Amino acid sequence: MASSPYITRTQKDLRGQISQWRGSGDRISFVPTMGALHEGHLTLVKLAREKAERVVVSIFVNPTQFAPGEDLDAYPRTEKSDIEKLAAEGVDLIYIPNPDSMYDVHHATTVKVGGVAKGLETDHRPTFFDGVALVVTKLFNRVQPDAAVFGEKDYQQLATIRRLVDDLDMPIQIIGAPIARDEFGLALSSRNQYFDKEGLAIARELNKVMFACAKEMEDGRNVDRAAEEAAKALIKAGFSNVDYVETRSKNSLTVLEGGVLNAPSRLLIAAHCKGVRLIDNCAVNVKE
């Protein structure tokens, strides 16, 4: 049986434990989370375990990435069961920072990523990546990991963090973990627990529409036409609103011009179902 993780809420204890492990030559891998952990998070933890001797997971519902009116207060907080799940995975350290220690009353610094962080999510959640970039920078500075794992479900977030780390010369390997899905293909998300039975059935249509759309693009269909039809199919399936169905270049998320794809790309979707905003994405495997 795995030994219990070291749980700390203070930066001092965190630093003490990390420097002890570093002194013994251990590598540290890190999985930042907002808690409400599900199987998807645990796949990130498993990947982190493969990369280093020590695995650190943080649990922090980051207020700066929620806009006024978003679900910050309602965001599920399940600390006890999160700790149990992480302990069962053999996590070495769980860091649950005190919110006041993250953003004190004098906090005045922002971290803004351009390029990959423009468009898509930012068109609908203009301050989201500023909040993510800020908290991830702070957590990286506190944990000082060798590697950090992020899910491909938040594909634009992953691309934004890769950019941030490259641009600011942070010596951290960023690892993307494939999307974990339920048996109906729905991407696992902490927000799935908001759904009733009917909402869940509608939500599970998202991935079917997305994969069908990607297949059409792979077969040479005009990208804009395929995306328009996918958006219509989502509304027909019961989604109330579609924020975007968009295909971008695979790594830099550059906007694609010209209708038909000629390089491996990524199809990204955000849509609303029963008051819950869902995002998903998949590869569009076009030969160069």
Binding site for ligand PAF (CB under 6 A): 32-34, 62, 65, 132, 135-136, 154, 157
Nearer to ligand PAF, 33 or 192 (CB): 33
Question: How many CB atoms neighbour CB 57 within 10 A?
Answer: 29
Distance CA 141, CA 79 (A): 23
Residue with smaller CB distance to ligand PAF, 116 or 136: 136
The position carrying tokens 């908290």 is 135
Residues in the chain: 288
Shortest reach from residue 41's CB to ligand PAF, in Å: 8
Q: Decide: 239 and 202 in contact? Cβ < 8 Å.
A: yes
41 part of the active site: yes
CA distances from 184 to 188, 195, 205, 234, 278 (A): 11, 15, 9, 16, 15
* Burial group, residue 201, by CB count within 10 angstroms (0-12, 13-18, 19+): middle
Nearest CB to ligand PAF, comparing residues 34 and 284:
34
CA 267 to chain centre: 16
Closest distance of CB 58 from ligand PAF, Å: 7
Q: Which is nearer to ligand PAF, 70 or 228 (CB)?
A: 70
The smaller minimum CB distance to ligand PAF, of residues 119 and 264, is found at: 119
CA neighbor of 200 nearest in space, from 185, 178, 179, 180 = 185
State the minimum distance, in angstroms, from the CB of residue 156 to ligand PAF: 11
CB of 132 to ligand PAF, least distance (A): 5
Q: How far apart are CA 251 and CA 266, in angstroms?
A: 8
Q: Name which of 33 and 144 has its Cβ closer to ligand PAF.
A: 33
Dihedral angle sign, alpha carbons of residues 66, 70, 73, 79: negative
Q: Which of 38, 41, 106, 107 is catalytic?
A: 41
Q: Which residues contact 272 (CB under 8 A, 6 or more apart)?
A: 239, 240, 241, 242, 243, 278
Shortest Å distance, C-beta 139 to ligand PAF: 8
User: Least distance in Å: CB of 136 to ligand PAF?
Assistant: 6
Among candidates 164, 107, 106, 105, which has minimal Cα distance to 132? 164
Report the distance separating Cα 35 and Cα 58, nearest Å.
8
Q: So which residues are the catalytic ones? A: 41
